[in-house]
Amino acid sequence: MSNLIILKSIIHNSLGKIFSFVSTFLFGVLLARLLSPSEFGVVAIVLAVINFLSVLGEFGIGAALISKRNWGKEELEKVLSLTLIIGSILLLILNILSPIFVSIFDNRIYFEIIPVLSLGLFFRVISVSFTSMIRKRLEFGSYNTILIISDIVSSLIAVLLSYNGFGVWSLVLKYLIFELLHFYLSYKKSELDIYILKFNSVVTIYNSLIDFSFFQLLTNILNSVSANIDTIIVGANLNSSILGEYDRAYRLLRYPSVNISTVINPVLQTALVKSDSCRLKRAFKLVILLSFIGGSGVFSILEMFKSDIILGLYGEKWNSVIPIFSVLLLGLIPQIISSLMPVFFQLTRTVKNLLKWNIVCVISNIIFVIIGSRYGVTGVAYGVVFGAYVSLFVLSLGAYSVVWNYSIYES
């Protein structure tokens, strides 16, 4: 793979993520001014569960397909049949869970919104094959354009709905419309055909993916539990308004960390897939250094202007977000660095090792969040921060170990 192709991929991916970030951020500000924290909280708890179920649905397939160097259009079309089955099962599961939501949160609106949100989950799962094909061809410009179009259209509709008093339904329909558009545009660009295979063929393609996907799936499940446990605990123990405030603080903090990792990880995974031990070591050192420098700069800016940013963007009704955000901000730098470590396990084909390290991270995160929940939403935020530093130490140590022993794994 030439350096020019790698450079173009990096530029396209970076520009796409920047535009996507700006779009998501601006529309998020508009919706925060039009809707209440309670309305955000109602949807946030369901989306936390959907994020977990989508991990089950994606089954680690995306990373596996990209790593299968010799797989092309025919194999990806077979995987699509598998995702159709998985997506249908998860749609059913989420609808079965709706009475539990009503019972825990004492709000019958979940009977109405969960069937709609479950459709979004279905289309999210079956889009995996399409997006994998696009990324496999290094068409990061097209990949990000699809995300941007889906986000802008769904957000515009959500803003119009919220302005006209649709409340929580603005957020519900935003999610569904985004997933529908993302599915359709990815399908058209990927040039894959949709068809259902016979059961035996589905089993065959499943078996060919299971070795890589299984451990990637377990790793993704652990990451999802770790990422959403705080939202679930806040939602289950406090009211929807407090959950909405916590979710707003968490999302504001996640903008830099998530965007940095989503820009860098796909490019690293593709560009370094055939690298030798020396090149991986250089890449590891450079990633650690640049992510620390970049994270420190973002931290400094947010710490100095946090009150102005939150009140200026969202308005006075979100004033309670400031103390929550102040605590969560302490974990920004370790979150950024940790988010870039899993790619080195994938590149060295030691995903099993990543699973072991992730178990330690998730257990520590859950323990810290549960302990913190005894002290309210601020305690939960401190639990997330302590967990972030444990994850930084554990994942960095693990990634260092597999990279520096890569020649052993190769042999």
Instruction: Give me the number of domains the chain comprises.
Output: 1
Dmax (CA) for the chain in angstroms is 63
CA atoms in the 13 A half-sphere facing the CB of 22: 7
Q: Which structural domain, as residue segments, surrounds residue 216?
A: 3-410
Q: pLDDT tens digit string along 304-352?
A: 999 998 988 888 889 999 999 999 999 999 999 988 888 888 778 777 7
Residue in the structure block whose two tokens are 């903090």: 253
pLDDT > 90? residue 399:
no
For the beta carbon of residue 193, count every other beta carbon within 10 angstroms.
11
Q: pLDDT tens digit string along 259-291?
A: 677 667 766 766 666 667 787 888 888 888 888
pLDDT given for residue 167 in this prediction = 92
pLDDT band, very low/low/confident/very high, at 211 (cuts 50, 70, 90): low
The Cα–Cα gap between 163 and 157 comes to 10
pLDDT given for residue 187 in this prediction = 87
pLDDT > 70? residue 404:
yes
Residue in the structure block whose two tokens are 């994938």: 346
The answer to whether 212 touches 350, Cβ cutoff 8 Å, is no
Q: pLDDT tens digit string along 346-398?
A: 778 777 777 788 888 889 988 999 999 889 899 999 999 999 999 999 999 98
pLDDT given for residue 255 in this prediction = 76
The answer to whether 150 touches 178, Cβ cutoff 8 Å, is yes
For the beta carbon of residue 344, count every other beta carbon within 10 angstroms.
27
- Entry pTM: 0.77
3-state secondary structure of 47: helix
- Return the top range by mean pLDDT from 30-34, 73-77, 127-131, 220-224: 30-34
The answer to whether 185 touches 151, Cβ cutoff 8 Å, is no
382 vs 13, more confident: 382
pLDDT > 50? residue 303:
yes
pLDDT band, very low/low/confident/very high, at 91 (cuts 50, 70, 90): very high
pLDDT band, very low/low/confident/very high, at 1 (cuts 50, 70, 90): very low
pLDDT given for residue 408 in this prediction = 46
pLDDT given for residue 224 in this prediction = 80
pLDDT given for residue 401 in this prediction = 87
pLDDT given for residue 4 in this prediction = 58
116 vs 102, more confident: 116
Q: Per mean pLDDT, which range of 94-98, 137-141, 248-252 is the poorest?
A: 137-141
pLDDT given for residue 162 in this prediction = 94
